């Protein structure tokens, strides 16, 4: 087989598991054989429409089989998949499409308006719309010759109709592990999002780490409640389970009552999320009413699991495997074994099997246990570059091989990593990364604003939320409501500060930079 990348995985799995269930979506089961045929047909249609090696193919939508069909079809052609965060505002969608130079945008019907606004004046010439609901998901495709996909200036064609009209013949094109597989946009510290360029090797090696460290089996039933446009959901859950021939149950979005029911309904064995996710589950009225005894693996990232949540799951015989990582590491860097979740509470765990982690001082020297420094990661799962950002790429690495996370931490005497601070001031709200500079730039557009600083403050539900502090220009007035109204539509809603405080001035360094550490002490939430 010429294709050595992830685009060949479903076909390879079909040879071993043709009749087994690959996906479940809204009660509809899709076998590996069905999934493989739909991927083949979609790849044929995309190729006839001009998609070739290196072409960028974007997807905008909640969890849906079409997401994975588009991902694998792009991989079949050697194209590059660009998943878009559904919570972004139109200008943010437009930036990602423009920056990536995406030719194709596949989107769900529910987000047709956002897709239309976001793709205007971009390189997108082909749009496909996925029918919402389960009716079309996994529908057997009819025969037909390969055909092109109409352009965006025509009526947006139906995703399933395009698949039905294409040839089922499998394309086997040369794709290597070092070829680009996906561009994932992550907000930059300067306010400018960067596209992390993940290769097939990055994604594959992360999967191997998951298989080794979490003992994923072919009988796994993974309930995916986190959006697949985040690499943590896709590459820590979906891809490893499909690689092993297990079953992935796709939930469109997270709803705690529905999730508890789905665990019971499908006898789910594997679930992942962020601390807020698991807190909402154990606080739901159905928590004690549902049978969740099938669960064997619970993975959590974003931050440490609160003790009260840990105890609620332990009371039901369940333990967490906490972890640490980022988009640039595809995303796993460390994992805490569930057996040591209590003993090493608060730790991000040990480095993944094929990944190395170190803590370095300001001079680059590796620090001993107990000393706080910058966390740096190396391994085959770590990206080699950002998309079209050579300067950012150069700055991101120490000694050319160690990715500089920008996070501060230390190892204990047993080699377990603890996160102590965020060098880049990043805010993590409900598992979503928020970089203050991006929000600050948007607030600064207001004429009344003289200076602005955004910090994270604790929140019982989301872990932390953004809080804006603003000093006003002389003679101007501004309300919190006006700030929020200005940001809605410009930024994703989770990035909009929940609270706004007007201040006279800011504590600053000798060079004039705002001292955010001091602000966090002054405004603890």
Q: Which of 186, 177, 176 is nearest to 329 (CA)?
A: 186
Nearest to 516 by CA among 474, 429, 442, 456: 456
**SS3 for 432?**
strand
Rounded to the nearest 10 degrees, the angle between the axes of helix 32-48 and helix 9-17 is 150
CB 247 within 8 A of CB 222: yes
Domain 215-317 class, CATH top level? alpha beta
C-alpha to C-alpha distance for 258 and 262, rounded to whole angstroms:
6
**If we measure between CA atoms, which residue out of 189, 244, 235 comes closest to residue 440?**
189
Domain locations along the chain: 6-176, 215-317, 427-522
> What pLDDT does residue 276 have?
85
**How far apart (Å, rounded) are the C-alpha atoms in residues 320 and 304?**
10
Say what the pLDDT of residue 191 is.
62
Looking at domain 6-176, its CATH architecture is: 3-Layer(aba) Sandwich (3.40)
Fold of 427-522: GMP Synthetase; Chain A, domain 3 (3.30.300)
CA distance linking residue 276 with residue 305, whole number of Å = 9
Give yes or no for a cis peptide into 354 (omega within 30° of 0).
no
Helix (H) or strand (E) holding 422: strand 417-422
Q: Please give the structure tokens belonging to residue 190.
A: 């300067």
C-alpha triplet 202, 207, 209: angle, nearest 5°: 95
**DSSP structural state of residue 207:** H
Question: What span, in angstroms and rounded, lies between the C-alpha atoms of 10 and 366?
Answer: 42
C-beta separation of 146 from 48 below 8 A: yes
As a 3-state breakdown, the chain gives helix, strand, coil percent values, each rounded to 5, of 30, 25, 40
Instruction: Tokens 């009526």: give the residue.
Output: 155
pTM value? 0.87
Check if the beta carbon of residue 125 is closer than 8 Å to that of residue 7: no
Which residues partner with 470 through β-bridges? 452, 502
The H-or-E segment that residue 196 falls in is strand 194-199
Total residue length of the chain: 525
The count of other CB atoms within 10 Å of the CB of residue 348 is 25
Is the distance from CB of 327 to CB of 232 less than 8 angstroms? no
**Which residues make Cβ contacts (< 8 Å) with residue 521, sequence separation at least 6?**
none
Decide whether 215-317 matches 427-522 in CATH topology: no
Q: Could you count the other beta carbons within 10 Å of the beta carbon of residue 319?
A: 18
What is the C-alpha to C-alpha distance for residues 481 and 469, in angstroms, rounded to an integer?
14
Which residues in the chain land under pLDDT 50? 134-147, 150-154
d(CA 376, CA 43): 38
* Angle in degrees, CA 392, 394, 395, rounded to 5: 65
Nearest to 295 by CA among 232, 221, 241: 221
Q: Which residues contact 395 (CB under 8 A, 6 or more apart)?
A: 404
Pairing between β-strand 463-472 and β-strand 499-502 as defined by DSSP bridges: parallel
Helices vs strands, H then E, count in the chain: 16, 26
Contact 31, 19 (CB under 8 A): yes
Strand order in the sheet with 28-31: 28-31, 21-25, 247-250, 221-224, 270-273, 297-300, 321-325, 332-335, 350-351
Instruction: Compute φ and ψ for 485, nearest 5 degrees.
Output: -65, -35
Q: Give the C-alpha separation, 385 to 290, whole Å.
A: 45
The phi and psi torsions of 161 (rounded to 5 degrees) equal -65, -40
């Amino acid at each position: 087989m010429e294709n050595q990348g992830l685009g060949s995985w479903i076909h390879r799995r079909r040879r071993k598991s043709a009749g087994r269930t690959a996906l479940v979506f809204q009660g509809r089961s899709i076998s590996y054989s069905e999934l493989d045929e739909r991927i083949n047909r979609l790849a044929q249609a995309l190729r006839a429409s001009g998609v070739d090696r290196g072409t960028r193919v974007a997807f905008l939508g909640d969890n849906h089989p079409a997401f994975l069909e588009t991902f694998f079809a792009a991989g079949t052609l050697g194209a590059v998949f660009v998943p878009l965060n559904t919570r972004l505002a139109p200008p943010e969608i437009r930036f990602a499409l423009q920056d990536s130079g995406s030719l194709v945008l596949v989107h769900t019907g529910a987000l047709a308006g956002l897709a239309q606004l976001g793709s205007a004046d971009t390189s997108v010439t082909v749009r496909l719309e996925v029918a919402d609901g389960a009716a079309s998901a996994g529908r057997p495709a009819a025969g037909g010759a390969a055909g092109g996909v109409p352009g965006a200036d025509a009526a947006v064609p139906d995703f399933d109709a395009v698949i039905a009209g294409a040839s089922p013949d499998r394309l086997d094109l040369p794709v290597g592990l070092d070829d680009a597989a996906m561009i994932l946009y992550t907000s930059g510290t300067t306010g400018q999002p960067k596209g992390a360029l993940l290769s097939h090797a990055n994604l594959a090696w992360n999967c191997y780490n998951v298989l080794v460290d979490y003992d994923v089996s072919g009988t796994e039933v993974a309930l995916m409640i986190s959006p697949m446009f985040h690499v943590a959901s896709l590459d820590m859950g979906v891809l490893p389970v499909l690689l092993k021939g297990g079953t992935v149950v796709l939930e469109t979005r997270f709803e705690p009552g529905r999730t508890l029911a789905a665990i019971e309904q499908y006898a789910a064995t594997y679930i992942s999320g962020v601390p807020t996710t698991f807190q909402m589950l154990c606080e739901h009225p159905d928590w004690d009413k549902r049978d969740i005894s099938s669960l064997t693996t619970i993975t959590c990232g974003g931050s440490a699991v609160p003790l009260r949540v840990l105890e609620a799951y332990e009371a039901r015989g369940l333990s967490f495997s906490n972890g640490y990582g980022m988009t640039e590491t595809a995303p796993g860097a460390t994992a805490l074994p569930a057996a040591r979740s209590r003993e090493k509470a608060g730790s991000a765990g040990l480095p993944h099997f094929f990944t190395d982690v170190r803590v370095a001082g300001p001079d680059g020297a590796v620090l001993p246990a107990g000393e706080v420094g910058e966390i740096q990661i190396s391994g085959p799962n770590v990206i080699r570059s950002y998309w079209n950002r050579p300067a950012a790429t150069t700055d991101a690495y120490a000694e050319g091989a160690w990715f500089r996370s920008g996070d501060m931490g230390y190892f204990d005497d047993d080699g377990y990593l603890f996160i102590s601070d965020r060098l880049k001031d990043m805010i993590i709200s409900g598992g979503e990364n928020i970089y203050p500079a991006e929000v600050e730039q948007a607030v600064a557009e207001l004429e009344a604003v003289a200076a602005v600083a955004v910090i994270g403050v604790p929140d019982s539900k989301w872990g932390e939320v953004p809080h804006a502090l603003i000093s006003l220009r002389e003679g101007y007035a501004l309300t919190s409501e006006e700030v929020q109204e200005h940001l809605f539509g410009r930024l994703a809603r989770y990035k909009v500060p929940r609270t706004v405080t007007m201040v006279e001035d800011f504590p600053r360094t000798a060079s004039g930079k705002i001292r955010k550490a001091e602000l966090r002490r002054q405004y603890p939430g």
